[in-house]
Structure 1
Amino acid sequence: MSKKPLTVLLANPRGFCAGVERAIEIVERALQKYGAPVYVRHEIVHNRFVVESLESKGAVFVEELDEVPEDVPVIFSAHGVPKEVPEEAERRELFYLDATCPLVSKVHREAERHARIGHQILLIGHAGHPEVVGTMGQVPEGSILLVEDVAEAERIDVKDPDNLAYITQTTLSVDDTSEIIAVLRRRFPKINGPKKEDICYATTNRQEAVKSIAQNCDALLVVGAPNSSNSQRLVEVAHREGCKTALLVQRAADIDWAQLADISTLGLTAGASAPEVLVEEVLEACRSQFDVQVQEVSGAVEDVIFKLPKALTGDKAATG
């Protein structure tokens, strides 16, 4: 019996960003240099496949530093950590490596600068996300108010409307964030913002790539984790662009083929913490169900590379 034809529009760029690649390489290089076990506080990136593959090489993932024994290296995840975490590591004389994405670190420095000059800070982001917890933990408690949506932006109460600044989580919806910023600027015309938007290049590029294909798809799959903010945003972007069936899948096994039975064009992308091997896995699964023709739809070219910590590159200065 012949298979039904299916055109797969493969969004590009997709998958790993430079910050995720750097974080994973930090764990792999630490394992090579120091041997197993190497401890990692929180998931290094939000992807179970990545975490499990690193566990198989000797990485041990824990939630808090008190689970880390003495005399083993510990790595902080790409999402960033509150200041109290490296302070506690130093108090215990633990050797640590910080895998915080440099673009998240940039937001941390912005928060510190605003707090230093006395601005009350509005952080646009999602409550409880590790990146938000880390950013709020850079400054004294109470310095930052969290704004999650337009409704909160409309009603948030501030101490001094003339002495405000806003920063954002790096993995938000570009469109949603623009709407929130517009409300804040209307309500507080003197609010200070970053010179360059905090939402990272990779988040922006992946959302633009989805926008470029969503209206031409009967359905769209985003390969990513449920706790991955940037992956969840890709699903939302597809819906906003008119693709009614936009679904998040962690692996090919998660695909509900009944939802895709009547389609002829499928969009496919991956969040910034999802490896390309999982995209290939989904494509292979599609080939088992359909006669697949792949069309790669190219967007922005990414050539960003972030340096590794000096402790892993042979340079003399070390961290921790």
Structure 2
Amino acid sequence: MKKTAIVTGGTSNQFPAMAVLALNIADKCPSIADELIIFHDGIPKEEQKKVNQIFPTVFIKYENPFNEVDNFSNEVKYYFSSFLFCKYELLKLLDSYECVIWTDYDVLIKQDISELKIKGKFDCKFLPENLLAKKFHKSFYWNEECVKDLNTFDMFGDAICCGLFVLFDTLPNYHNLYEKCIQLTKKYANSLYLPEEAIYSIVLQQEKILYDKLEFSKYFVKPEEEKIDNSSIKILHAAGQPKFWNGRENTEWNKYYNTWFSKYNGCKFETEKKKRKITLKKIIKCLLPYGLVKIIIK
């Protein structure tokens, strides 16, 4: 019988946050998946072993299919990273898993979310948004190749958020969907604002794929929106900046982080090391919301 996996991924300097996620999952929802899968770019074996003491974890070195693409938008180059696109890899994981659940690692799980792995009416679950056009730059309309495609999807139609989503192996033609994501990402590279969300949204529209809708008020609540009566909130998501580890204080998250390095002797964030290098990219990411990145770069 195929397994269920909960998946995340990012650069190795963000690894402590992924270790915290493993602790969070083991504490709040240990039955959500058989394995945690982490896409990475070079996490040391010693650190991998420590995470496996917390929760069964598979580490996959991410092979970026866009290394030769040199015209990505400034958001991809200066604010985000290529690990946005490892979210496409969940489609390929369906060969080996019955259900795959993506979660960003800048989250705090407040309650059991194991219900996510229970199949609903459709073959996937997403956080719904409107107006696909918000996922692109205005430059899209000045790109002749892009404009030619406007009759194949609705820029004023529905879109999705990729902070949390679920795919089931009953999803038809998922290999073709993966190839389409790769193809469209290359084609629209210089016009993408929220890259993987734009591409997944287009593919869902074009292939007429229906999905169960996850509630933002339950699964994607920003910490500053957390109210006194928060019994319905299941996930806090520190979208944008700062994160839980660089300025957004959260007692519960800090408790997991302290456990990581005190109990498991895990590595800490670069910000806590004297060797830290201050780069323009890091300054921009720490001080500004990504909506202002393009202004600063100019």
Between Structure 1 and Structure 2, the one with more helix by share is 2
Larger Rg: 1
TM-score bracket for the superposition, by shorter chain length: under 0.3
Relative to the length of structure 2, the TM-score reads 0.26
Relative to the length of structure 1, the TM-score reads 0.24
Greater RCO, CA 8 A, separation 6+: 1
